[in-house]
Amino acid sequence: MEVSVKEILQPRLPVEMAGDMPRLPGIAPCGAADWLRVDEAYGAQMAYRRALLKDPGAHVLYLEEAARPAAQEVLGEALALLPRLGFHRSDGGITCPDGHVQPLDFDNPLRTLGQIVQEDICLLQKRGDEHVLTGAVLCFPASWRLADKAGRPLIGIHDTVPEYDSDIARRVQRLFDGVRPGRPLWRFNRLAYADPDLHQPYRTRRGEARPYLRSERQCILRLPETNAAVFTIHTWVLRRGVQEADDEAENGAAVTAP
């Protein structure tokens, strides 16, 4: 199955993501229920996500068997928040804001959640001194492939990011160690892209004009039962003037993976 590429754009960034970029890692407290959002591009983004999840060649889903309880827990946590965002639960499943009815399948929790919410969801669990990526539904990667990062610790996930030096690695690991249930954290980035496609597992070629601004709102939360960390990514793409996009991206941070 070949998924057609679409230009799926939002009209603007949220106010809190439109200002100056903070220094890495740029973490701030997040509202307990604010790790899920619905924006103007919900319908178009979700149609694309559902198509990708049906395409075995897209490689957007990964789950270790040992991480299944954590995946089931994050699905349950999300379900508790959905009514305030315009979703409705019934015996048939979840009715989404775009009218799609998603059956609830706790045997396939990340596939189910990936067809309900705009956020990509990554599960990271402590093994030894580091958090390891043990599960993910990643439909909209920004220049990284899930297959390359699955089962790897944080430092390995970021080994291709020049800005992610040993000092930042220590600080990020402390953040994942320190995040507490009910007290999520969040950050954002802004990057210039040549292509508006939300599904971009490969890096943009240097020298290309980059008329699109891509920004990710990333949240880190702790699951109370399994103690797994969850890294969520909500993606905005806007069309901007080439120079404006380049200027803003130069002030941004290029860390896009957990």
What's the pLDDT tens digit per position in 26-73? 789 999 999 999 999 999 999 999 999 999 888 999 999 999 999 999
Instruction: Say whether pLDDT at 243 is over 50.
Output: no
Instruction: Say whether pLDDT at 240 is over 80.
Output: no
Write the pLDDT tens digit of every residue in 69-91. Answer: 999 999 999 999 999 999 999 98
pLDDT of 178: 86
Q: With a threshold of 0.85, does the pTM exceed it? A: yes
Instruction: Say whether pLDDT at 24 is over 80.
Output: no
Q: How far apart are CA 153 and CA 125, in angstroms?
A: 9
Token pair for 131:
């958090």
Token pair for 177:
């160690």
| CB contact at 8 A, 228 and 73 | yes
Instruction: Say whether pLDDT at 203 is over 80.
Output: no
